[in-house]
Amino acid sequence: MISPELLRPYRFFASLTEEQLKDIAMIGEEKTFPADSIIFKENTTADNLMLLLEGGVELFYSGGGAGCAANAPVCSIVPGAIFGVSSLIKPYQYTASARATKPVKVVDINGARLREMSEKNLTLGNVLINNVAAAVLARLR
Ligand code: SIN
């Protein structure tokens, strides 16, 4: 559990109500990862939505396969951004792997609990999906 105050300043959470922010803070945990560690791997169950607080993260395709480059970078995640968006999008499998490029601090939000909350509260689900779309589009800028 974390304080809702920790989430409030970040764009992804800015449009949530006090109560929604409190509910999400209940299922959030602060975690750290050393530089060069793998935070999650592609094609595994997407159980965690992460907010990067400190450090840097690179998303990459480790796979390769016919005609594809192995370990191809997808994009960099900077502090204040979310990653692990597949935890909110069916079939809930990560599409890329995430590596810490520096020592990293995140808020890790339990994806299954977040999905349950979104199913019970469709307004919240709608806001979260819109914010995921905005976060992914922001990566292109
Ligand atoms: C994924 O969630 O599929 C990979 C990481 C991201 O794009 O946020």
Q: Two tokens at 105?
A: 């601090």
**Angle (nearest 5°) at CA 78 between 64 and 48:** 65
Residue 126, in any domain of the structure? no
Give, for ligand 1, the residue of 52, 83, 109 to mutate: max count of ligand atoms closer than 8 Å to Cβ: 83
Predicted TM-score (pTM) of the model is 0.92
Confidence bin at 10 (pLDDT 50/70/90): very high
Is 18 a domain residue?
Answer: no
The predicted pLDDT at position 70 comes to: 74
pLDDT level of residue 17 (50, 70, 90 thresholds): very high
User: Which pair of structure tokens corresponds to residue 122?
Assistant: 């469709």
The domain spanning residue 82 has which CATH number? 2.60.120.10
Q: Is 43 in the pocket of ligand 1 (CB under 6 A)?
A: no
Q: Which atom of ligand 1 is nearest to the CA of 77?
A: 8
Domain assignment present for residue 99? The answer is: yes
28 lines ligand 1 (CB under 6 A): no
Atom of ligand 1 nearest to the CA of 97: 4
Q: Residue 59 belongs to what domain range?
A: 30-120
Q: Tell me the C-alpha to C-alpha distance, in Å, between residue 16 and each of 88, 92, 108.
A: 16, 23, 18
Domain count of the fold of the chain: 1
Block residue for tokens 């992914």: 136
Task: Identify the CA nearest to 134 among candidates 15, 7, 1.
Answer: 15
pLDDT digits (tens, 9 = 90+) for 68-117: 667 788 899 999 999 999 999 999 999 999 999 999 999 999 999 999 99
Q: Stretch 8-35: mean pLDDT, rounded? A: 95
Is residue 66 in a domain? yes
14 falls within a domain: no
